[in-house]
A and B are shown apart, each in its own frame.
Chain A
């Protein structure tokens, strides 16, 4: 599965290629041309793999897959098959099958439905409830602690560089044991902007291909993350965040301008070349004459200067601005931790000028005050049900926040808060608590699986048990939101990563 861990948009490989090429042209480096070509082929192949999987086609679920993995695997990947049977298979929240099975080959789901026979040599697992792995869109599993709150992080600082996949095994196991298969981890909480978050699988052993789902899941930022920060300091932080976005926008404008000028220049050069091609003899004679004249006059021969020789100057390379530009165009979502109502209002007001910005708000303790606007602008929020002390309003019920916001039409996700690696494993319990405070069960399940996958742009790979998706599968002893439910086994990309006692 040569999935590129960077955000490769299967929809626009050509555009990516073009962008990569323009980058190389700017830098004039051969190595980057090669990289661009590699990227292009990588993207193209990823795109080809995704193609058959994108339409989930519910009709196909009942059809047993007798064929091997769809033309996915020309390379010799895992041929091992796993069949997971469940009395209740939650294909996706709201779509469940009774006494059904999920067939997994090469790390992907190749069939979901009733009456699927186990292929020869397949490993068979069984459980009461089978569902997709839970995604924590705001966690800290595996991160070096100093990096989580790093004040000096910039937009191009990467969370995967702070990842220590060799420590915290017990935390990773606890998270897997609670059904959390993937976590978005972010760094630089105390900085002006946090840097690139990553989406990482809780694999027990580190394997880059399986463990890192996305190394550029989002850019993150936090407004006044320390409780008790003065309101003016927090509003100042909002302004600084907007200044960062502005930097991205300037970079974007500069690149667009440069691309335009470069195209003009290339066109002019081409015209000149065509002209000289057409009148090659004449041009050559003129040049030879000039050389001879120069020699006769014992002068140094100087090539005639053409105005086309002035190649436009590329914008200065700025890694941060580059990532910020991706945010401004909406290529990367921007996750902002923000709780107080003043900060929320300021942020919502000041981000209106970026129409393509994909804002995701985390925390939102005072979210009830801006629920209508969040719903209207379709800004998803990540709620930590256990946290009720971050808002300005007195004595708020954090566990009811999810239900209150969902009632107003806001898209709600659950997260563990991005500070405490241990907290991820509580996510299903916190969701159950929110259900106890009035959230619908289906909405709660979506908030744990399909929604985070969609918002992190991995909806085609994770979040549900549809054909073609990565086989991150939970086998449970009961309903996912029941307190007494235990995780029997967890599959990560088709391999058993956890088995309950």
Chain B
């Protein structure tokens, strides 16, 4: 996989780069992009104000700068990468080059709550062709027997995986046309760590400091391949969006401006109103949530509430409201009240998903819900099906089902047990990550016999046919 980023080279010129012709860029993108769901309309350039005096200011905006730097070097934006599986996008074409792989596992979690014991997943050209206890596997198909639980790769519809500068850029409150897929590093360590933790798809979202942060994108953590360029309009109605150094400085100002923008309904706001673009709204405290839901009802949009930790105390507003709550996963020390509220919300049957900060935080948050009596099925669903639905790629990832991408994770035990660990991660049918017994960087030479290794490292793949899944 070629990870393309030439930003540092361009940045060394130390000046704003000339604005290239838009037409050329479209051609360029189209020629390099083989992703099925990438429509030309989604390759919109960042909004450049007409007023010349604004341009200099605009260049200070890190997402713009990155995007333009990428353009200036004649490189397609960092996000577009060679597809992992060349033929994955066109199962109908090229029938001669079909690549088959069958994975058998002790338990297969389909993602929607159903499980299959001793199940088989048949993968064709990176997509799932069949799954079940008795799958008709064509003769000669390489088959891998896996010991452990096979589950869909986790899909987290909100993440903090952008470089620091992107995450904290809040110099201007409204960036409706910023495309966040222009602002990340596909080869970043954070993405590899997410992949190693079994997270195969994430939504990249902008800073919570902007009222309108821009358009989010969905990427696969394996190599940072973009799955969807325009997934949501990211809004923030939390404390971070109200900044005394720039407009808006109050919640009333914020709400008024959003109401004005949505009423006018130009550009992305129109897309949101027409229902083609969902919203992700950062809303932490209860009054943020109430304001967001009210504005959505008034303007006719719905989506997901990011970080609404106390949603469980607001079921009067949120029950069957059509909004999905995306819980933050800051780490182990979530206070008792928030844990209770999260569990109450999860138990209410309303849809929820998780935001991604780091792997341990995600796993601790799920474990805390389980400890408070939320069913493992509900939590697994949140990490897979609901996550994918909120991300807007619900028909494509998040389930082990015919037609879905073969993004699968072999776990040493139940995927939600903290004592389990991901053993092999498959993306588009390829094993893209294998766990070492323990992370090499932290692993001192062991003085104990191998038999004392715990169950978590014992699960391994026996490959019947050599080279089957490499």
- Which residues of A are interface residues toward B (Cβ below 8 A)? 170-171, 174, 178, 368, 371, 386, 395-397, 399-401, 403-404, 407-409, 420, 422-423, 425-426, 429-430, 432-433, 435-441, 481-486, 501
Contact = CB atoms under 8 A, between A and B. Distances in A.
A404 B373 contact: no
Interface stretch (B15-23, B265-273, B330-338): B330-338
B432 interface: no
A484 B376 contact: yes
Contacts of B336: 170-171, 174, 422, 425
Contacts of A437: 421, 438, 456
B430 to A, nearest CB: 25
Contact of B437 (A170, A395, A438): A438
Closest 9 CB pairs of A and B: A432-B418, A435-B419, A386-B332, A397-B442, A483-B367, A436-B419, A433-B418, A174-B336, A426-B332
Interface residues of B, number: 39
18 contacts: A170-B336, A171-B336, A178-B371, A386-B364, A397-B441, A407-B448, A409-B447, A426-B333, A429-B371, A432-B418, A432-B419, A433-B419, A435-B419, A438-B438, A440-B454, A483-B370, A483-B416, A484-B417
Contacts of A485: 371
B409 to A, nearest CB: 14
Contacts of A435: 418-419, 454, 456
B56 interface: no
Contacts of A420: 333
A439 B444 contact: no
Contact of A441 (B331, B370, B454): B454
Interface string B346-385: 0000000000000010011011101101001000000000
Nearest to B438: A438
A429 B439 contact: no
A179 B443 CA distance: 31
B97 to A, nearest CB: 39
B448 to A, nearest CB: 6
B333 A423 contact: yes
A428 to B, nearest CB: 8
Nearest to B359: A399
Given A423-B332, A483-B371, A433 B360 contact: yes
Nearest to B452: A440
B441 A395 contact: yes
Contacts of A438: 437-438, 453-454, 456-457
A368 B439 CA distance: 14
A202 B248 CA distance: 48
Given A408-B444, A436-B418, A483-B371, 19 more contacts: A386-B364, A404-B444, A422-B335, A429-B371, A433-B360, A433-B364, A436-B417, A436-B421, A438-B456, A439-B454, A440-B452, A440-B454, A483-B370, A483-B416, A483-B418, A483-B419, A484-B376, A484-B414, A484-B417
Contacts of A400: 438-439, 442-443
A403 B453 CA distance: 10
B31 interface: no
B332 A430 contact: yes
A368 B442 contact: yes
A399 B417 contact: no
Interface of B is mostly: loop
Interface in B163-189: none
A346 B396 CA distance: 57
Interface in B382-429: 414, 416-421
Contacts, number: 109
A414 B444 CA distance: 20
A494 B468 CA distance: 59
Contacts of B466: none
B12 interface: no
A339 to B, nearest CB: 16
A482 B418 CA distance: 7
Contacts of B373: 486, 501
Nearest to A171: B336
Given A386-B364, A441-B454, A429 B419 contact: no
A422 B368 CA distance: 13
Contacts of B437: 438
B419 A426 contact: no
A409 B333 CA distance: 29
A482 B454 contact: no
A442 B360 CA distance: 22
Contacts of A397: 439, 441-442
A204 to B, nearest CB: 15
Contacts of A408: 444, 447
Contacts of B13: none
B332 A429 contact: yes
Contacts of B368: 426, 429
A396 B442 contact: yes
Contacts of B444: 368, 371, 404, 407-408
A386 B360 CA distance: 8
B394 to A, nearest CB: 26
Nearest to A433: B418
B139 interface: no
Contacts of A486: 371, 373
A482 B442 contact: no
B421 A432 contact: no
A436 B336 CA distance: 24
A432 B368 CA distance: 12
B304 to A, nearest CB: 25
B446 interface: yes
Contacts of A439: 454
A430 B368 CA distance: 11
Given A409-B447, A429-B364, A433-B364, A404 B454 contact: no
A336 to B, nearest CB: 23
B290 to A, nearest CB: 25
B454 A429 contact: no
Contacts of B453: 438
A293 B196 CA distance: 104
Contact of B367 (A423, A429, A440): A429
A403 B438 contact: yes
A430 B367 CA distance: 10
Contacts of A430: 332
A96 B420 CA distance: 23
Contact of A422 (B333, B367, B419, B439): B333
Contacts of B367: 429, 432, 483
Nearest to A422: B335
Contacts of B443: 400, 404
A444 to B, nearest CB: 9
Contacts of A433: 360, 363-364, 418-419
Contact of B333 (A371, A386, A436): A386
B420 to A, nearest CB: 6
